[in-house]
Amino acid sequence: MDTHPTDRTLGADAGDIESAETEPESDTSMSCAYDLAEQQHGVIGRFQLVDILGAGRADHLLRIGRLEPVVRGIWRVRGGAVLPEQPAFAAALRARPQGCVTGPVALGLYAVPGFVGA
């Protein structure tokens, strides 16, 4: 199946997990997952996906190539921009629940002159 990585449906093949057309809540769930990844600069934790979609659908997204691993348990949306702050967000997600983004990346996000993103 030829799908674009930014499509907000599962893009499931026949016989696999049902598509969003037959399950309206999955479209809403996928939208929530993509929105969360966007807030986290393109990365999302498996634990977050499991909370939103369930383990089967979360693993299905990796299997079909919609997501690609960054580090163990943390994925990025395939086809999205590779951003310099993604490793920092991946590390913070990996260190949950106490992880946070600090240092030059945080300063850049706050637009402090002289830091990436400023």
pLDDT tens per residue, range 10-30: 333 333 333 433 344 568 888
- List the CATH number of the domain containing 32: 3.90.56
In a domain, 67, yes or no: yes
Number of domains in the chain: 1
Assigned domain for 114 exists: no
Distance CA 7, CA 48 (A): 19
Instruction: Tell me whether residue 115 is in a domain.
Output: no
Residue 14 lies in a domain: no
Domain range spanning residue 83?
A: 24-109
Positive or negative, the Cα torsion across 100, 105, 107, 108? negative
In a domain, 11, yes or no: no
**Mean pLDDT value of segment 5-9:** 38
Q: How far apart are CA 67 and CA 118, in angstroms?
A: 28
pTM: 0.72
Residue 9 lies in a domain: no
